[in-house]
Structures are given as C-alpha cells and as structure tokens.
Amino acid sequence: MTNSSVVVFFIGEALLLRGDVEDKSFCGDAVSATVEGFGQLQIMVNNAAEQHAQDSVTDIAEEQLFRTFRSNFNGYFFMVQAGRPHLSRGASIICTTSVTAYRRPDLLIDYASTKGAIVSFVRAPYSALAAEGIRVKGVAPGPI
C-alpha cells in the first residue's frame, strides 16, 4: 500500500483526504467527497509516483514492477474513471508523466515504463473527451 494523500482545492479552501490511490474504492470516495464538498469537479491533476533505480531489467523483482505500476499508473486510471462522470465542458484532466517516457531512462526502467503508459493513457481518450470540451493533457517534467 502506498501512503498517498489527495488534496483538493477550491477558491481558498482545501480538503485533505488520506488514502491509497492504488485502491479503486478510495479514488471513488475521493471524487465523491470532492463533488459533495465543493459541488463540482473541474480540474483533476494526477501526480503520484514512486521510482526505484536498478542497473538492469533483470534486477527488477516482480513485486517491484507490480508495485510501481500500481502506484504510478493504476491510481491515475482509477481517478479518471471515478471523475469522468463529474467532468463537463471546460473541465481538465492533467496527468504528470516524465521526460523518462521520451529519453533513455538508464536506471529507471520500470518507472519510465509507467510514465510511457501514462502518455498513452492521456492520448487514448483525447478525441472523445475533446469533442465534449474536456481537455486531457500530460505534463512531462525533467529531473527535479
């Protein structure tokens, strides 16, 4: 279980929800609490991740691979899935990916793979959601 928090802001107010974005039911509860507390969902920013440097693909244990995907990708998917019914024209979905999705990742093989999956995830529903006036964007920062 990843120790995650969801912070929701609405014009000078904040709602802090503790839970695990790997858990689909928590994502649904977080979206419900947001809509209940603020009456709407206009911007969704997905920005949860973990990374583990490894020298070789053969050094990545199965559990590490699954955990990295659960943390870095599944949470984004579950949040968008839960939030989609509450998003209307003018809303935005923003997902943090990484420059490692586009450049040689060297030691971050599983991390870069999850960030590449997020790039595809951002692109996949783009046309359908754009037709409804909902923006879907990926942000790919470099090393920080």
Residues with catalytic annotation?
Answer: 111
Distance CA 51, CA 144 (A): 13
**How are the residues of the chain apportioned to helix, strand and coil, as percentages rounded to the nearest 5?**
45, 20, 35
Give the residue carrying structure tokens 């659960």.
Answer: 70
Give the position of tokens 């420059």: 99
Q: Tell whether the torsion through CA atoms of 102, 106, 109 and 111 is positive or negative.
A: negative
CA distance 74 to 76: 5
What are the structure tokens assigned to 31, written together?
A: 């979206």
